[in-house]
């Protein structure tokens, strides 16, 4: 009994207070976004605000239960929890219900459950268990393949559900992995290929090829660690950019089959450079040539991935975000109305229950994915700043607590919690103001939904339980 009392004493109550405050503020915004004068009771379970209040109460009970569980349970059963939710991801492909184009929901009566949300929590536990094992080594290929498998399995299953937005969240596990010793080159190349993907959509293949060539040359010179070589490489990059600019001014079209010839020539040139590197015994040249070939293959496959993996609504949203299309009444309608709502709030907002964009349902999904537009319209700049500061303090607090952990398992899991939370906040708010594509992920503790609220509650309270017992952690 005394040990249990010590656990409650060691719980970080500041984090708990911030979570409860955000739950309350989120509920107020849901109440405002779907307010119905005929059903004004906050306990009316026929309305979303009544249901959300029930989810909040159940989240509090879940938190209490988690704090009372021995922290060793989450370490010992990490793989079992992971396997359970992987099984649910498989089952939902066959027996799930399709909502908004994604077959990722179990529906029981009026309650909908999305296992992909909880798969993030399970993956964080499994990765923490893996890297905290005694035989794990980041430089070992066997360990790297295990890491890749743990992350890739849920990602592939979620993509098969046609829920690419949720699958993208798993990229954030690179951050805690980097903290624990993953090579920075891997993080660099992930960001590099993300940029290649974006550039493949917005510029001509010939232009992209010239940029990739110039970039590869600059990296090769930089490896030599010569300031003169680096300066020369930068001049080459600037000169290539000027040639690209002149190309866009002079040539508007290319003959049919040109890009196919360009693709084959690029691959053959890269292979020739690899052979030359073996002859000249220059491993740096071999590395850069290999990266160039992979980049070309990736860039020329972007069109296929864009057309065959992403849904048509996701393609339209990305095209609108990148400025390739402008459709304010179609794919860009949600974001356009959201920006109008947020902008109309001004400095101090219109006041609680006084948002016209919110009241007359101009913004679709305004109680779920676009809940932030209700905050902006009714609370204005002041209110949105307060919300952003709360999220900032919560993420920073979680990172500080993670750094205090004595075990690799708890530290990695703490960084995973902070990373997932940050990604959700950044992307959700970014898509409501037109800085990120609309990929349908909720704003933590604000968006309506039991699955989302319970997921974030479990995710954070498990870490708080581990943190409360950090002085006894040995592994």
Q: Please check whether residue 193 lies inside any domain of the structure.
A: no
Those residues whose C-beta lies under 8 Å from the C-beta of residue 167, and which sit 6 or more positions away, are 116, 155, 158, 159
Residue entry with tokens 């794919």? 331
Q: How many CB atoms lie within 10 A of CB 66?
A: 19
Question: Last residue of a domain, which of 282, 310, 338?
Answer: 310
Can you tell me the distance from the alpha carbon of 129 to that of 410, in angstroms, rounded to the nearest whole number? 9
Measured at the CA of 189, the angle between CA 185 and CA 192, to 5 degrees, comes to: 140
Total number of domains constituting the chain: 2
Q: What is the DSSP string of 316-354?
A: HHHHHHTTS---TTTTTHHHHHHHHHHHHTTTT-S-TT-
- What pLDDT score was predicted for residue 451? 84
Can you tell me the distance from the alpha carbon of 184 to that of 167, in angstroms, rounded to the nearest whole number? 22
Examine the domain organization and report whether 353 and 221 are in the same domain.
no
The boundaries of the domain holding residue 277 are 203-310
The values of phi and psi at residue 107, to 5°, are -115, 120
Those residues whose C-beta lies under 8 Å from the C-beta of residue 307, and which sit 6 or more positions away, are 315
Q: Please check whether residue 194 lies inside any domain of the structure.
A: no
Q: How many CB atoms lie within 10 A of CB 401?
A: 22
Measured torsion, CA atoms of residues 23, 26, 28, 30, in degrees rounded to the nearest 10? -130
Examine the domain organization and report whether 224 and 145 are in the same domain.
no
Examine the domain organization and report whether 363 and 445 are in the same domain.
yes
Examine the domain organization and report whether 345 and 445 are in the same domain.
yes
- What pLDDT score was predicted for residue 1? 45
Q: Please check whether residue 316 lies inside any domain of the structure.
A: no
**Is the dihedral angle over the CA atoms 325, 162, 101, 441 positive or is it negative?**
negative
Question: Last residue of a domain, which of 254, 289, 310?
Answer: 310
Examine the domain organization and report whether 32 and 173 are in the same domain.
yes
Those residues whose C-beta lies under 8 Å from the C-beta of residue 275, and which sit 6 or more positions away, are none
Examine the domain organization and report whether 357 and 298 are in the same domain.
no
Nearest partner of 365 among 449, 262, 471, judged by Cα: 449
Examine the domain organization and report whether 29 and 156 are in the same domain.
yes
The maximal CA–CA distance of the chain, rounded, in angstroms, is 81
Nearest partner of 204 among 134, 146, 252, 135, judged by Cα: 252
**Do residues 442 and 104 make contact, with C-beta atoms less than 8 angstroms apart?**
no
Q: Please check whether residue 454 lies inside any domain of the structure.
A: yes
Examine the domain organization and report whether 325 and 468 are in the same domain.
yes
- What pLDDT score was predicted for residue 255? 45
- What pLDDT score was predicted for residue 377? 86
**Do residues 321 and 352 make contact, with C-beta atoms less than 8 angstroms apart?**
no
Q: Please check whether residue 195 lies inside any domain of the structure.
A: no
Examine the domain organization and report whether 354 and 460 are in the same domain.
yes
- What pLDDT score was predicted for residue 475? 47
Q: Please check whether residue 275 lies inside any domain of the structure.
A: yes
Examine the domain organization and report whether 122 and 228 are in the same domain.
no
Q: Please check whether residue 304 lies inside any domain of the structure.
A: yes
DSSP 132: T
- What pLDDT score was predicted for residue 239? 63
Examine the domain organization and report whether 284 and 348 are in the same domain.
no
Which helix H or strand E contains 103, and what residues bound it? strand 102-108
Question: Per-residue confidence of the chain (475 residues) as pLDDT tens digits?
Answer: 445 557 788 888 999 999 999 999 999 988 888 877 776 677 777 788 888 888 999 999 999 999 999 888 999 999 999 999 999 999 998 888 877 777 888 887 767 788 888 999 999 999 999 998 888 888 788 888 888 899 999 999 998 888 877 888 898 998 898 888 887 777 777 777 777 776 666 666 666 666 666 666 666 666 665 555 555 555 555 665 566 556 555 655 554 455 555 555 555 555 555 565 555 566 666 666 666 677 767 776 776 666 666 666 666 666 665 555 555 555 566 777 777 878 888 888 888 877 777 666 667 667 778 888 888 888 888 989 999 999 999 999 999 999 999 889 999 999 999 999 999 999 889 888 877 777 778 899 998 888 889 999 999 999 999 998 876 654 4
Both tokens of 322, joined, read 């990148």
Can you tell me the distance from the alpha carbon of 233 to that of 252, in angstroms, rounded to the nearest whole number? 28
Question: Last residue of a domain, which of 310, 334, 364?
Answer: 310
Both tokens of 404, joined, read 């205090």
Examine the domain organization and report whether 304 and 338 are in the same domain.
no
Q: Please check whether residue 190 lies inside any domain of the structure.
A: no
């Amino acid at each position: 009994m005394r040990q249990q009392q010590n656990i409650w004493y060691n719980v970080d109550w500041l984090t708990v207070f911030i979570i409860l405050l955000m739950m309350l503020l989120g509920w107020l915004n849901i109440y405002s976004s779907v307010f119905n004068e005929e059903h004004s009771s906050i306990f009316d379970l026929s309305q979303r605000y009544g249901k959300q209040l029930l989810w909040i109460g159940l989240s509090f009970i879940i938190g209490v239960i988690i704090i009372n569980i021995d922290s060793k349970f989450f370490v010992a059963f990490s793989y079992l929890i992971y396997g359970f939710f992987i099984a649910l991801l498989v089952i939902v492909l066959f027996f799930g219900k399709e909502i908004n184009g994604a077959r990722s929901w179990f529906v029981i009566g009026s309650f909908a459950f999305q296992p992909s949300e909880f798969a993030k929590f399970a993956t964080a536990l499994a990765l923490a268990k893996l890297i905290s094992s005694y035989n794990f080594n980041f430089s070992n290929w066997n360990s790297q393949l295990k890491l890749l498998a743990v992350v890739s399995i849920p990602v592939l299953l979620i993509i098969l559900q046609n829920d690419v937005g949720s699958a993208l969240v798993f990229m954030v596990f690179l951050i805690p992995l980097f903290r624990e010793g993953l090579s920075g080159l891997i993080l660099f190349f992930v960001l590099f290929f993300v940029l290649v993907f974006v550039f493949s959509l917005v510029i001509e293949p010939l232009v992209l090829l010239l940029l990739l060539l110039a970039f590869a040359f600059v990296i090769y010179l930089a490896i030599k660690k010569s300031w003169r070589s680096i300066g020369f490489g930068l001049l080459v990059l600037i000169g290539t950019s000027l040639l690209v600019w002149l190309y866009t001014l002079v040539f508007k079209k290319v003959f049919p089959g040109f890009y196919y010839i360009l693709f084959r020539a690029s691959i053959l040139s890269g292979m020739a450079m690899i052979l030359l590197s073996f002859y000249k015994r220059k491993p740096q040249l071999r590395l850069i040539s290999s990266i160039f070939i992979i980049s070309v293959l990736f860039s020329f496959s972007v069109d296929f991935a864009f057309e065959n993996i992403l849904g048509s609504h996701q393609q339209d949203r990305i095209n609108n975000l990148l400025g390739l299309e402008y459709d304010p009444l179609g794919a860009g309608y949600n974001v356009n109305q959201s920006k109008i709502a947020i902008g109309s709030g001004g400095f101090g907002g219109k006041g609680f229950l006084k948002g016209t964009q919110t009241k007359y349902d101009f913004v679709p999904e305004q109680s779920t994915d676009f809940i932030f537009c209700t905050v902006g319209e009714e609370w204005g700049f002041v209110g949105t700043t307060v919300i952003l500061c709360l999220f900032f303090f919560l993420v920073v607090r979680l990172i500080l607590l993670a750094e205090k952990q004595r075990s690799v398992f708890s530290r990695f899991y703490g960084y995973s919690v902070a990373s997932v939370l940050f990604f959700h906040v950044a992307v959700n708010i970014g898509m409501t103001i037109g800085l990120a594509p609309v990929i349908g992920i909720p704003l933590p503790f604000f968006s309506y939904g039991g699955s989302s609220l319970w997921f974030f509650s479990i995710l954070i309270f498990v870490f708080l339980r581990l943190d409360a017992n950090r002085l006894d952690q040995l592994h």
